[in-house]
Chains A and B, each alone.
Chain A
């Protein structure tokens, strides 16, 4: 009887584990199948490097370069915001904060991580955008800069908590050895703890990038939505995710436009896949360098 139950548990959990594989396959297949009619009927390089996104005109133009550029610009901007704040927060929490400070800060960061993205979007649109517009005296507050700022704030908790985990995995002996050799706390932190936690910190950053690239609601509400390659960070932009979200609802199903939106989705999928692969490679390399690999 006991053996029988064990077998059942094993089966159930195997099925559950493979379920996610099933979903992944399903999603990838759908993306390919729906994007396929577009990919075979349009020149791929002209699509990827085309400058104009006019999907509903006759003849339609499906230039994705402005959308891809926008995603990159906004993500880069978000990283500029969230890496210093996120990594700084983690180091403070781990190295400097007293127990009581940590007891307040850690739950707060977790709450920030749990706020739905649409709330960030509202916050960006109603508060941050008019503020930036007035502060810098620019024509419109909904632009790449504001979107980066809000996205950066949103990705901060991810980076902070993962970095904190990474730092806490650094063996105590490393720190003690460094301090014993007469290094100051600052030197220990920068020269010993940070490199030792490097793989974890870079994974944290890359997961933060992943979150920013795929984020939809915030960029839909805050980035402005102009499908042009921005001349400056204060120009409105339109990332890939925002394009899909804004246009999918009203497009004719099965039309070239519909398939083109799936092609954007496929591009986005490949970008996030590349990000994940890079994260894996970096984390492996760091681990080996420090002799922490198995």
Chain B
């Protein structure tokens, strides 16, 4: 009898002990209580969120941020299947992705974190200093195939493009080619760095890449008479400029909001600049027509319906890329 009692007591005690151990474990695995923040997506935006995460974690020892690349499509797909809290993208979310998100119960919320300009680069030995958007389009569609036709030397143009699913390609296609097809025999490279290397090695080459990736071994040409620079990209007078996005599920809150606030305010924007991208404002003043809080208050429902109507493409206008997404305009 006594023995049985003792056994019972031990059992109850061990149960209690087990619960004591279990409770903190369970609360730790609760995603809301845990401070781990995952960010995934575009390799173009990667350096910005990476350095942002490092500095943010230095300031806030409780924060654990994990940053991954993979590409804009991967990031948004991860947001939809909830394996990341923030998706980064160098292109705007597509209508089909919004639909998939909606089906999965995810409401993508868009934040612009920096501006990026696409630089058109040639080999330093090339005397051509400026091209018009039309000339760039002719080169990339195959209408022009010798530098002589553009005021250069008699040399075949080696056209270098990016893989058709990269965000840089999509932005270039939209901004410079206006949807026309790149000549099929263009060289396709998998990264900005390879574009740099190939252009630097090939006398007749022309390539395009993110402004932050221009190396000293290539020459960036002016487009329509405007040289790519921080100022011209921010104001949008440089024709090939685009915003870089973060996407969250619903309006950011908690850790996500704190991180995004950090990244879009002064200190974060300084990091953006250090990474070769163009901050959203200069001297404490927002550029263009965009004013308001650091989070862009684009109503996701309004934007959703706009995109489902097929109208969300082609909103990237020269000069004021951000206005069109202000809720007042949309509704």
Binding site for B on A (CB under 8 A): 52-57, 66, 125-126, 129-130, 133, 139-142, 220-221, 224-228, 235-236, 238, 245-247, 249-255, 257
Contacts and interface: CB of A to CB of B under 8 A. Distances in A.
Nearest to B89: A250
In the complex, which range does the number of interface residues on chain B fall in? 35 or more
Interface stretch (B11-19, B48-56, B70-78, B105-113): B70-78
Contacts of A139: 155-156, 158, 202, 204
A236 B74 CA distance: 28
A226 B185 CA distance: 5
Given A66-B184, A139-B204, A221-B190, 12 more contacts: A133-B202, A139-B158, A140-B202, A141-B202, A226-B187, A227-B188, A249-B70, A250-B71, A250-B167, A251-B71, A251-B73, A252-B76
Secondary structure call for the A interface: loop
B318 interface: no
B300 interface: no
Nearest to A231: B185
Given A139-B202, A252-B77, A252-B94, A56 B187 contact: no
A241 to B, nearest CB: 12
A271 B77 CA distance: 31
Interface in B160-188: 163-167, 169-170, 179, 181, 184-188
A249 B74 contact: yes
B194 interface: yes
B100 interface: yes
A140 B158 contact: yes
Interface of B: 70-74, 76-77, 94, 96-97, 100, 155-156, 158, 163-167, 169-170, 179, 181, 184-190, 194, 197-198, 201-202, 204-205
B181 A252 contact: no
Contact of A250 (B73, B97, B155, B194): B73
B163 A226 contact: no
A54 B184 CA distance: 8
Given A139-B156, A249-B71, A254 B100 contact: yes
Given A226-B186, A227-B188, A246 B201 contact: no
A141 B201 contact: yes
Contacts of B205: 140
Given A140-B202, A250-B166, A225 B185 contact: no
Given A54-B181, A228-B185, A235-B185, A126 B197 contact: yes
Contacts of B179: 57
23 contacts: A52-B184, A53-B184, A54-B181, A57-B181, A125-B194, A129-B201, A133-B202, A139-B156, A139-B202, A140-B158, A221-B194, A224-B187, A225-B190, A236-B187, A247-B163, A247-B165, A249-B70, A249-B71, A250-B71, A251-B71, A252-B94, A252-B97, A257-B165
Nearest to B161: A225
Contacts of A251: 71, 73, 165
A147 to B, nearest CB: 12
